[in-house]
Amino acid sequence: MIITIGREFGSGGRELGKRLAEALGIAYFDKEIVAEVSKNTSLAYDYVQNIIEKRPIVYYPISIGHSFEDYNNYITKEYYSVHSEQDKVIKEIAAKSNCVIVGRCADYILRDLHPYRIFVYSDMESKIKRCKEKGEIDASLTEKKMIRAIKQIDRQRGEYYEFYTGARWGDKENYDLMINTSNASIKDIALGLAEVIKHANK
């Protein structure tokens, strides 16, 4: 049983993943993947974290010059090495045991294993509330700036997913179940969702 969770920032996807893993008695992976990739590539945790879930940024020179080309080649190479390492780590994890994996296009990477693919979303009001409660966003920001920050993270996740999978992030066709966590207690719904997944014949 492999469960993958795509999630909008601030929608509580990580909490849902943890609670599902608990309810189903299986492993949960999120930042552990970053740590493993960091170890295997000898790149700093924060650097790997920063690259993961973003599409590659290629800098186009104003005038074509060797230095720009070399720089781009270097960046692109490093980007791909991090991502191919991440692929490897995710596949190893899934091969070892039943688990819940949050983000990282795991639904696509593990498609041959037919994971149960969940997408978690919510309205902006709930996102802000949740981010404030969990301290996931700088509380001194104005609401307008918080909205901009949340939207930017989701835009990056969407671009990354699209770049990586060729499919659209959050499009229902790519998921088995999509859950709106606006005004919902994630603790309360995780148990029911676990029952849905148990019976999904995946």
Footprint of a copy of itself (CB under 8 A): 119, 121, 123, 170, 172-173, 175-180, 182-185, 188-189, 191-201
| CB 39 to a copy of itself: min, Å | 36
- Give the nearer residue to a copy of itself in terms of CB position, either 29 or 119: 119
- Give the nearer residue to a copy of itself in terms of CB position, either 123 or 162: 123
Q: Which distant-in-sequence residues (6+ apart) come within 8 Å of 144 by Cβ?
A: none
- Give the nearer residue to a copy of itself in terms of CB position, either 29 or 175: 175
- Give the nearer residue to a copy of itself in terms of CB position, either 83 or 117: 117
| CB 22 to a copy of itself: min, Å | 16
Tokens encoding 55: 């599409």
Sign of CA dihedral 83, 99, 159, 45: negative
| CB 189 to a copy of itself: min, Å | 5
| CB 28 to a copy of itself: min, Å | 20
What are φ and ψ of residue 133, in 5° steps? -60, -40
Would you call 149 exposed, middle or buried from its count of C-beta atoms within 10 A (0-12, 13-18, 19+)? Answer: middle
C-alpha 187, offset from chain centre: 20
- Give the nearer residue to a copy of itself in terms of CB position, either 73 or 183: 183
| CB 170 to a copy of itself: min, Å | 7
User: CA angle, corner 104, sides to 75 and 145, nearest 5?
Assistant: 80
> Which CA distances in Å does 98 have to 84, 120, 200?
22, 20, 15
Judge contact between 26 and 195, C-beta under 8 A.
Answer: no
- Give the nearer residue to a copy of itself in terms of CB position, either 114 or 148: 114
| CB 143 to a copy of itself: min, Å | 20
Cβ atoms within 10 Å of 200's Cβ, excluding its own? 12
Residue 43, helix vs strand vs coil: coil
